[in-house]
Amino acid sequence: MKTYLTLILAGTTLVAGCRSNGTLVKPKATVVKGVAVETVHRAPTAEYYDASGTVTSATTSVLGAQISGTVRAIYARPGDQVRRGQVLAVLDDRSVGAQLAAARAGIAQTSYGLKEVEQALKAAQARRTLASLTYRRYQTLLAEDSVSRAEFDQANANYKAAIARQAGLEAKEKQIEAERRQAESQTAVARTAFSYSRIVSPINGVVTAKAVDVGTLVMPGMPILTVEDPTHYRLDASLPEKFLSIARVGAFVGVRLHQTDFQGQVVEVVPSADPASRSFAIKIALPGNCGCRSGDYGTAEFPVGEEKLLTVPKSALVERGELEGVFVIHPNGVAEYRLVKTGRTMGNQVEILSGLADGERIATSGTARLSDGARVEAQ
């Protein structure tokens, strides 16, 4: 009973304290100063078509086998950074290595043969010179009847034989030179075939895929590794046939990736349509700071006309949990938090689909200090 009387007395005192001359005193509304207020209106806004697409590297190299053989070693894994000219995998090179050794042996053989012919040719040239001098001397002696006709004929025959031998050796020299060029060509072919046993990165990049393992028998054309350039990406999107005329090479378009907006540039418009979807492929270069990766999803905005939209600045949106709203400022200056449904984001503006009427005023700054019922003194 004593506790009950104490509570009654406390309640009576509280009620008395809340009244002044018999009138209930209401708490004063919070006044928030320095809030920017803006009146929203439906205004002509560019209408965009969102072309969805996939991010790909501007330079992707699929490294495949050019000869048949067993994979002996793989030196790179997906995710590894590689440089141009780095050996990433090795195929069995015994067959092509033997061909290269045989071709090099052919070059060595022709080199030795060429040296031998050159020495013989020098000796033949000396004999021809001697035979020529002897023949001319015997011509003079024959005119003076100092030698017999038989001796002159022998000198003449020796001279002609020396000429024939020199000509034969010169022909042999040309033949060996031709054989040497053939051996060098065979060596170049064998060297190229041998180089195919080394899978080399053609660019500086990162390994993104590995298609085989050590011990796999590969055939020409089979992919082994994929390397892509991580510094230049593009968005491969598609446009319906009716919007193809708005896509121009060199034009800049808005691109959205990871909830972030970028400016991309159209670098290629594929002139042939996909027969199934009747859409055209558009390739858009992305900035180097896009922070994207191959396979990411993105959209590109292509302007297709104008429409009247109700938009608000991004700064006006207040998120509470998974809901979005704005503070509506009534004519008496009282703030009201109102949930809205948002649409597309266009630069710094966000489309409002419902929850807000044309001509209403909203707070665009200082929203963190506002609450329902607060009185706003706009700046």
pLDDT at 17 over 70: no
Residue 3 lies in a domain: no
Q: Which of 304, 322, 339 is the last residue of a domain?
A: 304
**Unique residue bearing structure tokens 């002139």:** 271
Is residue 21 in some structural domain?
Answer: no
Does 17 reside within a domain?
Answer: no
Average pLDDT over residues 290-315: 87
Residues whose CB is less than 8 angstroms from the CB of residue 75 and which lie 6 or more positions away in sequence, other chains included: 87, 88, 89, 90
Other beta carbons within 10 angstroms of residue 292's beta carbon come to 23
The residues near 321 (Cβ < 8 Å, ≥ 6 apart) are none
Same domain as 187, residue 117: yes
- Given a contact cutoff of 8 angstroms between Cβ atoms, the answer to whether 310 and 351 are in contact is yes
Q: Helices (DSSP H) in 239-309: which residue ranges?
A: none
Give the model's pLDDT for residue 156.
Answer: 87
Q: What pTM was computed for the model? A: 0.55
Average pLDDT over residues 300-323: 89
Instruction: For residues 76 and 218, state if they share a domain.
Output: yes
Distance CA 219, CA 217 (A): 7
Q: What's the confidence (pLDDT) of residue 360? A: 94
Q: Does residue 1 carry a pLDDT above 50?
A: no
Task: Tell me if 220 is assigned to some domain.
Answer: yes
Reply yes or no on whether the pLDDT at 23 is more than 70: no
Q: What is the pLDDT of residues 222-267, one digit of tens each?
A: 999 999 998 889 999 998 888 888 888 998 998 988 878 888 999 9
pLDDT of residue 27: 56
Please state, in angstroms and as integers, the Cα–Cα distance from residue 157 to each residue in 16, 18, 144, 153, 194, following that order. Answer: 155, 150, 20, 6, 54
- In degrees, rounded to 5, the angle at the alpha carbon of residue 65 between the alpha carbons of residues 61 and 71 is 115
Percentage of the residues of the chain whose pLDDT score is greater than 70:
92
Q: What is the pLDDT of residue 377?
A: 83
Both 98 and 187 in a single domain? yes
Rounded Cα gap, residues 349 and 354, in angstroms: 15
Question: Which of residues 195, 218, 246 is at a domain's end?
Answer: 195
What is the predicted pLDDT for the residue at 29? 65
**pLDDT recorded at residue 11:** 44
Residue 324: is its pLDDT beyond 90? yes
pLDDT band at 128 (very low <50, low <70, confident <90, very high): confident
Residues 86, 202 share a domain = yes
User: What's 337's domain CATH number?
Assistant: 2.40.420.20
CATH number assigned to the domain comprising residue 254: 2.40.30.170
Three-class DSSP category at 14? helix
Q: Are 298 and 257 in contact (CB under 8 A)?
A: yes
Q: In this structure, is residue 170 part of a structural domain? A: yes
Domain for residue 2, yes or no? no
If asked whether residues 182 and 252 sit together in one domain, one would say no
Do 29 and 353 meet the contact criterion of CB atoms below 8 Å apart?
no
Query: Which among 309, 239, 293, 241 has a CA at the least distance from the CA of 268?
Result: 239
pLDDT in tens, 205-219: 999 999 999 999 999
User: pLDDT tens for residues 89-123?
Assistant: 999 988 888 888 888 888 888 888 888 888 888 88
Surface-to-core class of residue 289, CB atoms within 10 Å of its CB (0-12 exposed, 13-18 middle, 19+ buried):
exposed
**Residues 180 and 103 both lie in one domain:** yes
Q: Is the pLDDT of residue 45 over 50?
A: yes
Range of the domain at 358: 26-45+309-378
Number of domains in the chain: 4
Phi, psi of 25 (to 5 degrees): -90, 120
Q: List the strands of the sheet with 205-210, edge to edge.
A: 60-64, 223-228, 205-210, 81-82
- Average pLDDT score over residue span 62-87: 92
Are 191 and 168 part of one and the same domain? yes
Q: How confident is the model at residue 201 (pLDDT cuts 50, 70, 90)?
A: very high
pLDDT surpassing 70 at residue 350: yes
363 with 350, same domain? yes
